[in-house]
Every structure is written in structure tokens, then in C-alpha cells.
Chains A and B, each alone.
Chain A
């Protein structure tokens, strides 16, 4: 009895690490640039397809392909900020919401046209491997993904708190006008924020590939989870998003264990609606901590 609970918690925690990479990206963009990136899930999808093709064409291990997906997506992030998002930053909500939403639709449907709706999987030597500890079962691929996700989150925290650029980002998040007066170039900071957020999404894609299938709609699973985690963890708060993501992973896993195999989505929606109903106050002002 206790063992199944612990097992479900472990499963949830491990996948929660991936959710964290996606949510941290969403919350970072929201905190710094003040927009919600509806396309964040599609960048996870792009990361997965890059890893998939590197693995099948060149035999590169999906986790090693992190060193390709992260820089590639960083560059995409900078381009998206510079050529698209920069042009709609203003007091008007409509262009901001529907620009990233249109980007999400575009990437998703392009993937559908180019790669079809088929599921793509990469089988690695460790895809089925697991560590057995006193009756518990820990899949190696998920454990690696979790550890790398935590390391990347830690590195981001260090970056935000110790480097000049990181501090500039936090300053821009707290008060854009004052930050600009202090000589911080907002567009440069926004470009870096988008770059980092997308690089994290790309990393999530690579880390998922050994144990998850790539398909055009895959990002939707993760972005919904991320939106809930970002609300729960207070908008714009990186540490909050991380903790909330791990909690979401655990809640989803317990839901699957005790309610039914296909209840994962229901749990997510229930949590989102409950959060909105009872804790919408955390939604007000958040900042990058």
C-alpha cells in the first residue's frame, strides 16, 4: 500500500522535472517580457523532433543532443523576440495574446504537414532500464531527465542571481522603466529571456525523447501543465514554478494511480479551475526571484 504511494510519488516527481523546465520558461517570459507564450509547448515539440532526427540520422544519443537543441532554440528565441514579439509590446492585449497563439498554431500545423501525425520514438540502451531499490522501480531515462532538469534549473537560478545580465533581467522584471533609466537595454534583456526560455523547452524535448514519443500535438500536454504550474507558483516566480511543477507531476501521477489511467488531464484541469476559484490572488504581480 505505502509502496504504491511512494512509487506514484516517485513517478510524478520524475516527470515533474520536465514540467518544471517548461513552466520555468513560461514564467521567465511572463516575468520579464510580460507576455504569455502560448507557443512554449511547440518549442518542446521542436526540441523532440531535432533530437529524433539527430538520433535516427546520425545516431546521436537524445540526451547528448541537448548540446544541439539548447543553442538552436536559444537562437530561435532571440529571433522570435526580435522579429515578432518586440513589435507587439504595448498596452494592447489582443496582438500579444494572438501573436504567440498564432505561432503555436503555425508550428503545430507545420509539423503536422511535414512530419504527419505519426508517433516517433527513439529507443536507447537505457530506455527500458530501471533501478530497483527495496521494491521501488526507478526508470533510468526518467531519472536522468529529472537530474539534468534540476541541474539546468539550478544553473538558471545562479545565472539570475550572480551575473550582471541575470540581475538586469530581474531588474527589468521588477520595473521596466526604472531598469531602462539605469541603462539596461530592454530588448536585449527580452531577447536573452526568450532565448533561455526556449532553450529550456528544447532541453525538455531532448530529455523526453528516450521515453516519450514525438508527435505534432505533444507540446499541448506540457504547455497546459506549465500554465497551471505558473499560476500556482505565482506568475513570474521561477522557484514557485519549479515547486508547483513537481507538485503537479505528483498530483497527476497519484490521479493516474487512484482514479484511472486516463485521468491525468482531468486532474490538470481540476487543479487549474480550483486554483482559479480559490487562489487567484497569487495571479496578481509576480516577479523573477
Chain B
């Protein structure tokens, strides 16, 4: 029997093969659309999880960085003809810059008031883009000029291409999380998440660690914003700074398993699949169905399984394989 470590490699390789060939097997555009949403929101959840999961800084304002990424690349593309691939990185840098003053404000607070402060800063940014028309098209927003098949401008004829871009982002997020999780920074983050005062008492520079992880989290979230705008060919403040993005970023991580590498991915698969099934059963005519179901799932997870679905899965695994293959 192979060792547990080998099992993990085999499982990962199998997963990689399935994920890579999926768009070749499934050509239904509704299905691909759902896959892309799953990849994208997994990625946003992974970005959120770095700060919200490991360091337990429970932000509900990540739409701020999603929106800044989206607007930066779109302004660069529409007004200056610069490729969104460059715009994407630029958007990430703008988001990092913005996270410094926002973090300075919000990190003064702890617990629920930190959360409220993050909501307020994201909403304030949305208002700025709504009110200042000179900045970027005001409330009407703008459509992205359609150039046909232009891979250098992040525009593709085939939906599968968007799938692979989103997949690339998710892999990037997971690799960064894996590296951080296994570094000194990962341990500091968990220490801060467990008890910030105790962490500081043993010499962890909590403000600096929190600032740094916020920079990374903001950068990654902004990449998602650029991708999403390119994918839907449209931007306005209500879409780019949508509060639902902040909510879903946190939700997928919490439902899947807060502060774990795969938690956000598992959470997104569950939530997005549920939402897609609901949509095909009920149609999208009834507003509020999706978030009603999401909130019920969230309440159930909080009351019965605060470690998330990943906790359920590992428990089941231990039950059926008592000599824990997961020990490695």
C-alpha cells in the first residue's frame, strides 16, 4: 500500500487531470459558465481566507479590491489602450496601495467593529465611483470594446479560454497560500488569529504581519476583478463594488473550512452548485432565493460545524480509515 504522502500526490494529480480536461469534455456553455464562476469565487475565497481565515481578520469589504482591480484595468484599456494583462497587475498594485490607508483605519478596531469598518470603506469607494463622473463613467458604467478573439487583450472567442485563465488564478492563489501556510508567516498569522494579544506578547509584530497579509490578499482579489470585467464585458460601480462579492468571499471560505488551504474551494463548489441547481429548477425570476439558501447553509455551518465542510470530510475519512491516512 502506498504511503499517505503518495496518496496525496495521486489524488492531486487525478484532480489536476480532471480539471484540465473538463472544458474539453463539457461544451455546454451554461455548464462552463458555472465552472468559471466556481474557479473565480474559489480564487476570491482563497484571497479572503489568507487574511480572514488564517489571521481571523473578518473582512466584509473585499469588494473594494475587486472593484479597484476591475476599474484600474478597464480605465487603462479603454482610455489608454493598455492590455488588461498589464492592467491586471496594475490593478493589483493599486489595490495594495489602497489597502494601506484602509488597513490603517480598520485595524484599529477588533472583532465586529473591524468587520463594520471594512464594509464602510468598500461602500465609500463605491460611492466615490458613483458620484465622481470624471473618474470613470459614473453610475452608467461602460462596456468593454469587443475586439473578437484577442488573447493579448484578454478577450477570447472560446469560453474554455476564460476557464483556463480562471484556473490559472486559482492555482496561483493556492500556491501562495500553501507557501505562506508552511512559512514562519503562516504560523504568525495563525497565532494572531488565535489570540492577538498573546501573539504580541511572545514577540509577533501583529500590526506588520496583518498589514503584509492584507497587501497580498488585496492584490489577489484585484486580479479577480480584472478577470471578471473582461469576462462579462461590462463595468459599473454597482457590479464592481457589489457587496455580494464581499459576502461570497467570506462565505465560501467559512462554509468550506475557514483557515484551510482547500476550504474556500470546497465551499465554492457546494454554494455555486446549489445556486446553479436552484436556478435551473426555479428560474432566475424569484429574487433572493440564492442568498436565502446561502444564509441557511451558513447558519447551519456556524451552529453545527464551525470548522466547515472540510471538518465533515476529514471526520468521515477518519471514521472509515481509522488508522488515519491523513497523518502525513
Contact = CB atoms under 8 A, between A and B. Distances in A.
B60 interface: yes
Given A88-B302, A94-B58, A112-B288, A106 B111 contact: no
B199 to A, nearest CB: 14
Contact of B295 (A92, A105, A216): A105
A33 B11 CA distance: 46
A276 interface: yes
Contacts of A38: 112
Interface string A246-289: 00000000000000000001100110110011001001000000
Nearest to A235: B113
Interface string A193-230: 00000000000000000000000100000001001000
Given A103-B299, A109-B292, A92 B247 contact: no
Contact of B296 (A95, A97, A106): A106
B299 A265 contact: no
Q: What class of interface size applies to chain B in its complex with A?
A: 35 or more
A85 B224 CA distance: 35
A101 interface: yes
Contacts of A231: 113
Interface string B120-155: 110110010001000000000000000000000000
A119 B292 CA distance: 20
A102 B112 contact: no
A110 B108 contact: no
A124 B112 CA distance: 39
Contact of A95 (B124, B289, B306): B306
B288 A216 contact: yes
A280 B60 CA distance: 19
A35 interface: yes
B72 to A, nearest CB: 22
Interface string B287-316: 111111011101100110010000000000
Task: Say whether chain A's binding surface is mostly helix, strand, loop, or mixed.
Answer: helix
A158 B258 CA distance: 44
A98 interface: yes
A92 B292 contact: no
B299 A93 contact: no
A94 B254 contact: yes
A270 B120 CA distance: 9
Contacts of A92: 306
Nearest to B259: A94
B56 to A, nearest CB: 6
A87 B130 CA distance: 41
A272 B102 CA distance: 13
Given A110-B288, A273-B120, A98 B112 contact: no
Given A36-B111, A98-B298, A109-B288, 14 more contacts: A94-B258, A95-B302, A96-B111, A97-B115, A101-B115, A102-B299, A106-B296, A109-B289, A109-B291, A116-B287, A227-B116, A265-B127, A276-B108, A276-B109
